[in-house]
Chain A
Amino acid sequence: MSTVVLLALTGLGLGALYFLVASGLSLIFGLMDVLNFAHGALMSVGAYGTWWAASGHLPGAGPGGAGFALAVVFGTAVGTVAAVLLELAVIRPLYARPREQILATVGVGLAVPALLSAIWGADARPFPGPEALSGTVGLLGAEVPLNRLVLIAAALVVLAALRLFLGRTRHGLVVRAGVEDRAMVTALGIDVRKAFTLVFAIGGAAAALGGAIGGLYFGSVDPEQGTSLLIFAFVVVVMGGMGSLTGAALASVAVGLVQQFANYYTTAGLGDLAVVVLLAALLLIRPRGLTGRLA
């Protein structure tokens, strides 16, 4: 029983990490038809920003308590700025050329890890974090690492915030409408490009937050972390239905759990394969993903 609880919560923690990356990826694709292969790099930027700040380089930030919170805010902010710059400088000039656009995001997705390893080395660096979050908590007989719960909480907060944004604000309304019919949004007199930049900022912030807290989960940062996670985030986006937030949340949970349980009860590494099998099976039954719509 305790093993099942531990596996379930670890799977949910991993799912939470996937959701933080996939939610932005899904909104960006749904609204703009842009497959952002640089999204994992945004997560890495968040992770390195947090690591850099928490390692004592940012005044006031540090590995413990409020200092760590400040480091997370810093890392998330750097990731957000990077996402906005990516949209303005790389994506926007290429809207009429989708093929070049994809290649450009692939290029950025390769360049950022290379840049990170050029500056800080290719090896994993230990990730500083608050003492209070490195322990475990007894839950239903299992000793669950606290960082899993932090990730799950962060993902729930992001999910709730995104739902409020999409459901209650005019910008959110524009995004939902744009996912359906971008041209008609402009024909109503709305500059949809502003929504593009906004969605990139939001998606970048979520991914960077994932990187910042993901550092606690992995215990270290390395330049390839974000990129290797991106593949599973794409699986989540396809499973959940392009542009669907609820779908991304459900698919994140499914992928995280399947991966953990399959890796534990079968051969290690088979969990990753199981995820792909799950994706294929789902697409055979429901070609448009779990929901196939934005909500």
Chain B
Amino acid sequence: MSTSPAPLLTVRDLRVVIGDSHILHGVDLDVAARGTTALLGRNGSGKTTTVRGILGLVPRTGSVLLGGEETVRLATHSLVRRGIGYAPEDRGVFATLTVAENLRLAERPGAGQPAYDLVHELFPELGQRAGQAAGTLSGGQQQMVAIARTLLNGNRLIIADEPTKGLAPKVVTEVAQVLERAAEAVPVLLVEQNLAVVRRLARHCVVLADGRTAHRGPAAELLADADAARRLLGVGRAGHDGAGPAPAGASAGPAAHPATRTEEAEV
């Protein structure tokens, strides 16, 4: 990481207190200016809260620099308009609105032409289902709507929170392909439990434990080190199916699931 250009997003000492409970005790992370940075950790380690804290969806303190600008005091909508596309954990699709309306809502009037060509090229299905209520779509299709919304604007950063959660293996591969392509143009902060997807997409990784940053470094290095992976992620099999980027169809499917289940079982 030391040789790469300055990070796009720099988070320092991010703290979140909700009610009486401290959820984040000081998270440090960098999102590199290129490629995908994975945010990892066991369930309950604070990954989603970190993302929500960065966006200001929960009250937070600390420092969040986007392209060098301090954003921690900005309202969510102001920060997002500086060029962030966000696909939340629950997909955040508006069930009673149509697919077309969900996309139209993500347009930013006055900020250039929305990239409908790209969206329809990546997700031809969404064009066919434009008039359908988004609540009647399958989980995979809803995830496509959520990702499409992040691609519609010329965003500087895409934040995707568990985009493959609960999807069928074939759809996981599709989503991973789209994110891989998106990451060629825009840096991505990816929260992900599916280690096969992490292995395929992520260059860098940040691991949280108990609301703190526990590890930062190249993703491949962590995944290759079985001991570290077990200690930090609670997975036993991470190092065993070969290091380095795996081909999509081969590992994004079945290989992913035992790992995910192992992790969830231990929490």
Cβ of A132 under 8 Å from chain B: no
8 Å CB contacts to B: which residues of A160-199?
Answer: 170, 173-174, 176-177, 180-181, 183-192
Surface stretch bound by A, among B18-26, B102-110, B113-121: B102-110
Given A173-B97, A177-B97, A177-B105: A189 touches B81 (CB 8 Å cut-off): yes
Given A173-B97, A176-B97: A184 touches B92 (CB 8 Å cut-off): yes
Q: How distant is the Cα of A183 from the Cα of B57 in the complex, in angstroms? A: 7
> Would A181 and B94 count as touching, CB distance under 8 A?
yes
Cβ of B149 under 8 Å from chain A: yes
> Would B96 and A294 count as touching, CB distance under 8 A?
yes
Minimum distance in angstroms from B217 CB to a CB of chain A: 29
User: Which residue on chain A has the smallest CB distance to residue B104?
Assistant: A173
User: Which residue on chain A has the smallest CB distance to residue B56?
Assistant: A186
> Would B92 and A189 count as touching, CB distance under 8 A?
no
> Would B96 and A184 count as touching, CB distance under 8 A?
no
Contacts of A125 in B (CB 8 A): none
Cβ of A293 under 8 Å from chain B: yes
Q: Mark B57-83, 1 if CB is under 8 A from A, else 0.
A: 100000000000000000111101100
> Would A189 and B95 count as touching, CB distance under 8 A?
no
Minimum distance in angstroms from A264 CB to a CB of chain B: 39
Which of A180, A189, A295 is the one whose CB lies under 8 Å from B94?
Answer: A180
Q: How distant is the Cα of A170 from the Cα of B106 in the complex, in angstroms? A: 11
Q: How distant is the Cα of A172 from the Cα of B109 in the complex, in angstroms? A: 15
User: Which residue on chain B has the smallest CB distance to residue A180?
Assistant: B94
Looking at A186, A188, A294, the one whose CB has the most chain B CB atoms below 10 A away is A188
User: Which residue on chain B has the smallest CB distance to residue A188?
Assistant: B106
User: Which residue on chain A has the smallest CB distance to residue B95?
Assistant: A180
Looking at A189, A293, A295, the one whose CB has the most chain B CB atoms below 10 A away is A189
Minimum distance in angstroms from A243 CB to a CB of chain B: 10
Q: Mark B107-146, 1 if CB is under 8 A from A, else 0.
A: 0110000000000000000000000000000000000000
Which of A177, A186, A294 is the one whose CB lies under 8 Å from B75?
Answer: A186
Minimum distance in angstroms from B142 CB to a CB of chain A: 13
Number of interface residues of A (CB under 8 A): 20
> Would A186 and B77 count as touching, CB distance under 8 A?
yes
> Would A180 and B96 count as touching, CB distance under 8 A?
yes
Which of A174, A191, A293, A294 is the one whose CB lies under 8 Å from B105?
Answer: A174
> Would A184 and B88 count as touching, CB distance under 8 A?
yes
Minimum distance in angstroms from A27 CB to a CB of chain B: 14
Contacts of B106 in A (CB 8 A): 188-189
> Would B95 and A186 count as touching, CB distance under 8 A?
no
Contacts of B57 in A (CB 8 A): 183, 186-187
Cβ of B101 under 8 Å from chain A: yes
Which of A180, A189, A294, A295 is the one whose CB lies under 8 Å from B77?
Answer: A189
User: Which residue on chain A has the smallest CB distance to residue B134?
Assistant: A180
Minimum distance in angstroms from A95 CB to a CB of chain B: 12
Contacts of A192 in B (CB 8 A): 77
Q: How distant is the Cα of A190 from the Cα of B92 in the complex, in angstroms? A: 14
> Would A189 and B80 count as touching, CB distance under 8 A?
yes
> Would B105 and A185 count as touching, CB distance under 8 A?
yes
Minimum distance in angstroms from A246 CB to a CB of chain B: 12
8 Å CB contacts to B: which residues of A34-80?
Answer: none
8 Å CB contacts to A: which residues of B219-234?
Answer: none
Between A and B, 14 residue pairs with Cβ closer than 8 Å are A176-B96, A177-B94, A177-B97, A180-B94, A180-B96, A181-B92, A181-B94, A186-B80, A188-B80, A188-B86, A188-B149, A189-B77, A189-B81, A190-B77
Q: Which residues of A contact B (CB under 8 A)?
A: 170, 173-174, 176-177, 180-181, 183-192, 293-295
Given contacts A187-B76, A190-B105, A191-B78, 9 further A-B contacts (CB under 8 A): A183-B57, A183-B76, A184-B94, A186-B80, A187-B57, A187-B88, A188-B86, A189-B77, A189-B84
6 closest pairs, A vs B, by CB?
A189-B80, A184-B92, A189-B81, A186-B76, A186-B77, A191-B77
